[in-house]
Structure 1
Amino acid sequence: MRSTRGDLRSMDLDIDTVRVARTRADCALRPGEAFLGGGTFLYSEPVRPGVTGLVDLMGLGWEPWSVDGSGLRVAGTCTLAELVAGPGALGAPAGDRSGAPGPYRGLGIVGECVSALSLSAKVARTATVGGNLALGLPAGSMVGLFVALDARAVVWTPDGGSRELPVADLVTGAGRVDLAPGELLREVRVPCLALGARTVFRRASLTPTGRTAAMVTGRALPDGAGSDSAGPGGDGPGRVLLVMTASTPVPHAQLVRAGDHDALDHWIDSVDVAGGWYEDTHGTADWRAAMTRRLAHEALDELGGGA
């Protein structure tokens, strides 16, 4: 549901203006304006108090995604359908008989992470990666995807500059993100090392098609490799990065030695000290904690198995 005047009439949004951004200069917000990406969440909720105008980012024409020597870049305006059809397809098995892993096997969890949002094909063709990340919702599975891939967010600042931060640090609470007024999530960057890694995905919800209540993603690290965004844990051979989302207000990432289930339990137990478990109509805190523990142990077994 891209922001066109026809869409706005049909959706009956209580706003005064819509501007389509064509250049970076057009992204400078005027008083009362807010950014509009795909708009699927915006159109499902009342307009925030004080918002009288929208700036449609889809007119910028950013390339949805690209891969080069530095890794994968995904534009904030890349739709979820484009993410699956592009990077998600790169991560699919090659289909040959050699059994050799492909150079992009780390992207094999893209499709599962998008499916975790339980959205229709119509919404997937419109909702954007940047919008899902910028909402900061616990069930926003793009957070779990890109934290597992050690991605960094590139943010445009109102003064014409930019800054970078780990996607792991972008979400600061349920519905809260580290974006100042006027800042715009330009893209996320996934390093080459993560593209070829083995990755894992696990998810739980109260119903088969319900909102994600617990999600665990992760990737295997090369011997001796670490991750700046993974928090405490140290480096060493046979380590995996595990990421908990949906069941907690903020993403939690940790390096764990393959097979060290005691250390994994200790980490999960520490969540009660570091902000606790999220609770809403889609799952109680105790149930989410139990599901997360089960999924994390399964993920550790899978990533620690080699291959």
Structure 2
Amino acid sequence: MDLHTVTEVISPAAPGQWRPGDAWLGGGTALLGEPRPEIVRLLDLTAAGWPAVTERADGVEIAATCTIAELIETLGRYPIVGQCCHSFLASFKIWNVATVGGNLCASLPAGPMISLGAALDGVCALIGPDGAERRVPVAEFVTGEGVNVLRPGELLRAIHLPSAAVGALTSYRRGSLFRNGRSAALLIGRRLDRGGLALTVTAATRRPHVLRFDRGPDANELAAALAEIPAEQYVTDVHGHPDWRRHLTGLYAEQIRVELGEGA
């Protein structure tokens, strides 16, 4: 979609250049997907030259401008990365343009990069207009459908995934109304130290929900924890009724519990 109100593109852009009416530009697949008459300038982050993926002893740093193609090329050896990338069900054209940061900032329930970051204890590095940095867990970055914690002028610089989480044993489940449809429920389980479990619920709910168990839960303990997710958190739209999404969530959660219990 054309953004006919845009009169200027600043490239490369830096935090201090932001002013009301500006929007940060990554891949643009989400930004250009709907009318945005309030935007008059685009601040291009792709020209900043940030390394797409940086692997260190303490984990992996993924630049907000890292494309989906770059992510799977560098980290595809981890099964959960490939599974989340393929959750886009997008063509190679989109993979080569859409960015990890853009998927988070769009903050849609079905955003698979949100699922990946929340499931692997990811932390977002945010930079304000004055250059000040703050860090927010991915699981807390998205607060609702299309809503997140970004303040005016703030940008998402990178996502850090700790090494222990990236290399952990994981289990993945995804459901949709259609074979090539948008995710209606996307759950990721991760085996913790000493037999614990972290279960991340996304797509079915308006924001990520991460359930943690110090030891492997039994079926009743898992069901009780899922019941704590408020009913109004389940998404209702053309991609699935909330009751059905809640059913899928319970079904997939139990499958993940059993699978990771056996895998341990």
TM-score range, shorter chain: over 0.9
Asked if structure 2 preserves the Cα contact closer than 8 Å seen for 1:258 and 1:301, the reply is: no
Instruction: Compare CA radii of gyration and give the structure with the larger one.
Output: 1
| 1:258-279 Cα shifts (integer Å, max 9, x gaps) | 2411111111112136x43111
CA apart distance, 1:13: 2.3
Aligned-residue RMSD, C-alpha:
1.4
1:149 to 117, 120, 123: 120
1:288 and 1:58 mapped to 2: Cα distance?
36
Q: Which residue of 2 aligns with 1:292?
A: 249
Answering whether residue 5 of structure 2 is matched by residue 12 of structure 1, we say no
Asked if structure 2 preserves the Cα contact closer than 8 Å seen for 1:133 and 1:140, the reply is: yes
1:200 and 1:211 mapped to 2: Cα distance?
20
For structure 2, the 5+ residue unaligned runs are: none
Q: Which residue of 2 aligns with 1:272?
A: 230
Answering whether residue 22 of structure 2 is matched by residue 33 of structure 1, we say yes
Q: Which residue of 2 aligns with 1:46?
A: 35
2:175 and 2:203 mapped to 1: Cα distance?
9
Q: Which residue of 2 aligns with 1:66?
A: 54
CA apart distance, 1:51: 0.9
User: Normalization by structure 1: what TM-score?
Assistant: 0.82
Q: Which residue of 1 aligns with 2:198?
A: 241
2:129 to 137, 154, 158: 158
SS at the partner of 1:130?
A: helix
Which amino acid is 2:171 matched to?
V
Identity %: 42
Q: Which residue of 2 aligns with 1:86?
A: 74
Answering whether residue 85 of structure 2 is matched by residue 121 of structure 1, we say no
Which amino acid is 1:261 matched to?
A
Asked if structure 1 preserves the Cα contact closer than 8 Å seen for 2:104 and 2:113, the reply is: yes
| 1:195-235 Cα shifts (integer Å, max 9, x gaps) | 22101111000011000000101210011xxxxxxxxxxxx
Which amino acid is 2:12 matched to?
A
Asked if structure 1 preserves the Cα contact closer than 8 Å seen for 2:2 and 2:32, the reply is: no
1:182 and 1:200 mapped to 2: Cα distance?
37
Asked if structure 1 preserves the Cα contact closer than 8 Å seen for 2:26 and 2:102, the reply is: yes
Asked if structure 1 preserves the Cα contact closer than 8 Å seen for 2:25 and 2:42, the reply is: yes
For structure 1, the 5+ residue unaligned runs are: 1-10, 92-107, 224-237
2:23 and 2:246 mapped to 1: Cα distance?
36
| Dislocated runs of 4+, deviation >6 Å | none
CA apart distance, 1:130: 0.3
CA apart distance, 1:150: 0.7
Which amino acid is 1:64 matched to?
A
Q: Which residue of 2 aligns with 1:303?
A: 260
SS at the partner of 2:28?
A: coil
| 1:142-183 Cα shifts (integer Å, max 9, x gaps) | 111111111111101111110001111000111000000111
CA apart distance, 1:19: 1.1
User: Normalization by structure 2: what TM-score?
Assistant: 0.95
2:168 to 186, 197, 200: 197
1:148 and 1:34 mapped to 2: Cα distance?
28
1:180 and 1:276 mapped to 2: Cα distance?
23
CA apart distance, 1:28: 2.5
1:306 and 1:50 mapped to 2: Cα distance?
51
Answering whether residue 208 of structure 2 is matched by residue 251 of structure 1, we say yes
Which amino acid is 1:73 matched to?
E
2:9 and 2:189 mapped to 1: Cα distance?
40
CA apart distance, 1:44: 2.1
1:80 and 1:19 mapped to 2: Cα distance?
24
| 1:38-95 Cα shifts (integer Å, max 9, x gaps) | 0012222112x32111111100010000111111100000001111111123x2xxxx
